[in-house]
Chain A
Amino acid sequence: MTTRRNVLIGAASLAAGAGLVSVSPARATPASMDAAIKKVVGSAPLRKGKVTLSLPPLVENGNTVSLEVSVESPMTPENHVKAIHIFNEKNPLPNVISARLGPRAGQGKLSTRMRLADSQRLLAVAELSDGSFWSDEVDVIVTIAACLEDPG
Chain B
Amino acid sequence: MVRTLINVPKTAKKGEIIAIKTLISHEMETGFRHDNMGKAIPRDIISLFVCTYNGQEIFRAELHPAIAANPFIAFSTVATASGTLEFKWTGDNGFSATEQATITVE
Binding site for B on A (CB under 8 A): 22-23, 25, 63-66, 88, 91-93, 95-102, 104-107, 109-115, 146-147, 150-151
Nearest to A146 among chain B residues (CB) is B68
B58: A residues at CB distance < 8 A:
101-102, 104-105
Nearest to B59 among chain A residues (CB) is A101
A98, B62: Cβ atoms closer than 8 Å = yes
Given contact pairs A107-B76, A113-B72, enumerate 15 new A-B contacts (beta carbons under 8 Å).
A64-B69, A91-B65, A93-B64, A95-B62, A95-B66, A96-B67, A99-B61, A99-B62, A100-B59, A101-B59, A105-B75, A109-B75, A110-B73, A114-B67, A151-B41
Question: Of B17, B41, B61, B65, which contacts A98 at CB under 8 A?
Answer: B61
B77, A105: Cβ atoms closer than 8 Å = yes
B78, A106: Cβ atoms closer than 8 Å = yes
Nearest to A104 among chain B residues (CB) is B58
- Interface pairs A-B: 9 shortest CB-CB: A106-B17, A111-B74, A99-B61, A64-B68, A113-B68, A106-B78, A96-B66, A25-B32, A95-B64
With contacts A100-B59, A100-B61 taken as known, whether A105 is within 8 angstroms of B76 at the C-beta atoms is: yes
B65: A residues at CB distance < 8 A:
91-93, 115
Interface centre among A66, A98, A99, A112 (most CB of B within 10 A): A112
Distance to closest chain B CB from A38 (angstroms): 17
B33, A101: Cβ atoms closer than 8 Å = no
Tell me, yes or no, whether B87 is within 8 Å of chain A by CB.
no
B68, A65: Cβ atoms closer than 8 Å = yes
Task: Please measure, in the bound complex, the distance between the C-alpha atom of A63 and the C-alpha atom of B65, giving whole angstroms.
Answer: 12
Tell me, yes or no, whether B71 is within 8 Å of chain A by CB.
yes
B60, A100: Cβ atoms closer than 8 Å = yes
Task: Please measure, in the bound complex, the distance between the C-alpha atom of A22 and the C-alpha atom of B32, giving whole angstroms.
Answer: 11
